[in-house]
């Protein structure tokens, strides 16, 4: 399919004042209040979410990629991301490049609480003379760092869930229901890094099966034998 180049949008005047804004709350806000704001507004900004020392560690860990020369390109866009201008530097597979990011992703209590309350799906299957409870945990769809370069035009207004081929016939956004993550986590994170990751990170990347038989390899959950699974794959 041939795509026409996307138009370059005019810059937003510095004098522009939006009619509405997302609320900013401190990182100490109780989870119930965060959920209430999300339910009402659809989004929220949490200040001081990551400590300064962690930000310093992340910056250090990403130095090999932030200091590398960007490959020359004649394209006005950024690879698969057609709405992101070429002047912007993207670092994909972030949880495989920054141990600090991976730790925050798995261990931050607010993130875990939000995942559990919003994204976890629990249901029961009726079997002969029994009821089987099941649970489906969320997957990490994308982990990427973005550095907007000098001269980069702003992005066109868009919805990020366009990548899932969703046509919005209503305003409410529905969670879940996507059969594929935005980033191919099995190829984005090197094998040498995956084998050293925590059980929670393996779960988020899709290496752990839910209570049902989804994503199994050799009739087991891949996280139970990561090294063995990889060895058998490359035979």
> For 125-130, what is the mean pLDDT?
92
Cα distance between residue 155 and residue 82, in whole Å? 9
pLDDT of residue 4: 80
- Regarding predicted confidence, which is higher, 150 or 116? 116
pTM of the shown model: 0.76
pLDDT higher than 90, residue 78: no
Other C-beta atoms within 10 Å of 150: how many?
5
- Name 127's bridge partners: 130
What are 8-20's pLDDT values in tens digits? Answer: 888 889 899 989 8
Range of weakest confidence among 38-52, 161-175, 206-220: 161-175
Helices (H), the chain: 31-41, 52-61, 63-66, 94-97, 99-107, 109-114, 185-188, 191-194, 199-205, 226-233
- Regarding predicted confidence, which is higher, 178 or 209? 209
pLDDT higher than 60, residue 170: no
> For 108-124, what is the mean pLDDT?
94
**Are 76 and 85 spatial neighbours (Cβ–Cβ below 8 Å)?**
yes
What are 180-227's pLDDT values in tens digits? Answer: 788 889 889 998 999 999 999 999 999 998 887 778 887 789 999 999
Is 137 strand, coil or helix? Answer: coil
What is the DSSP secondary-structure string of 169-231? SSSPPPP---SS-SS-HHHHS-HHHHTTS-HHHHHHHT-S--SSS-S-BTTB-GGGGHHHHHH
pLDDT of residue 229: 87
User: 167: pLDDT confidence band, cut at 50, 70 and 90?
Assistant: low
pLDDT of residue 223: 92
pLDDT of residue 69: 65
pLDDT of residue 173: 55
pLDDT higher than 60, residue 76: no
Q: How many CA atoms are closer than 13 Å to the CA of 201, on its beta-carbon side?
A: 24
pLDDT higher than 90, residue 6: no
Is 90 strand, coil or helix? Answer: strand
| Mean pLDDT rounded to a whole number for the chain | 86
Token pair for residue 223? 């996280």
pLDDT of residue 71: 58
User: 40: pLDDT confidence band, cut at 50, 70 and 90?
Assistant: very high
């Amino acid at each position: 399919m041939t795509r026409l180049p996307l138009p370059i949008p005019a810059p937003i005047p510095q004098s522009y004042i939006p009619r509405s804004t997302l609320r900013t709350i401190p990182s100490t806000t109780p989870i119930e209040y965060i959920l209430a704001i999300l339910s009402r507004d659809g989004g929220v900004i949490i200040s001081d979410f990551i400590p300064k020392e962690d930000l310093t560690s992340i910056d250090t860990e990403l130095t090999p990629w932030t200091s590398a020369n960007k490959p020359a390109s004649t394209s006005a866009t950024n690879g698969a991301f057609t709405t992101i201008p070429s002047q912007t530097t993207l670092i994909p597979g972030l949880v495989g490049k920054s141990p600090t990011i991976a730790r925050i992703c798995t261990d931050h209590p607010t993130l875990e609480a939000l995942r559990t309350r919003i994204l976890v799906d629990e249901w029961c299957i009726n079997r002969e003379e029994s009821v089987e409870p099941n649970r489906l945990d969320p997957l990490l769809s994308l982990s990427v760092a973005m550095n907007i370069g000098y001269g980069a035009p702003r992005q066109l207004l868009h919805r990020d869930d366009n990548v899932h081929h969703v046509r919005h016939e209503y305003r409410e956004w529905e969670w879940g229901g996507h059969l594929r993550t935005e980033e191919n986590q099995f190829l984005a994170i090197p094998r040498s890094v995956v084998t050293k990751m925590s059980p929670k990170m393996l779960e988020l990347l899709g290496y752990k099966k839910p209570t049902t038989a989804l994503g199994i390899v050799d009739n087991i959950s891949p996280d139970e034998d990561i090294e063995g699974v990889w060895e058998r794959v490359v035979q």
